[in-house]
Every structure is written in C-alpha cells, then in structure tokens.
Amino acid sequence: FFMDGYDTVSAMTTMCFFFVAHHPEVQDRLINEVDELAGRVGANITGDDVKDLPYMAQVYNETSRLAP
C-alpha cells in the first residue's frame, strides 16, 4: 500500500523536465509565463501564485498523460 505513492512527485517532475528540455519552444513559453508572474508579484512567488501559471499546469498535465 505505501509503495504505491513512493517517489511519484520526483519521478513526475523529472519527466516534466525531460520533456521540456526536448522542446525549447515549451521551455521559452514557460520562462515567459514565470517572468510575467514575477513582474506582477515580485521575486517571491508563493504557492498561491502558482494558480496564475496555466501553461505550467498544462505542461504538467500533459506530462502525466504521456508518462503516467
């Protein structure tokens, strides 16, 4: 039971970085989205601010679809 969730976040994050690294246009769009948010809220982006990163959420969801 406990092993079902073992290391899932780090594995998903690693796969997300892998896919983004192979698609520079996605990486550029993510950087622009984060830069735009940082311009509005400052350098200290909080967990509440992450909801204002819709493209990042889409990339993460697509990663979970491609590498479940």
Retrieve residue 62's tokens. Answer: 């697509």
pLDDT digits (tens, 9 = 90+) for 2-14: 556 667 888 889 9
- Determine the pLDDT at residue 60: 93
- pLDDT digit string (tens) for 9-65? 888 899 999 999 999 999 999 999 999 999 998 888 888 998 999 999 999 999 999
The residue ranges of every structural domain in the chain are 24-68
Q: Whole-model pTM?
A: 0.79
Sign of dihedral through CA atoms 14, 15, 21, 26? negative
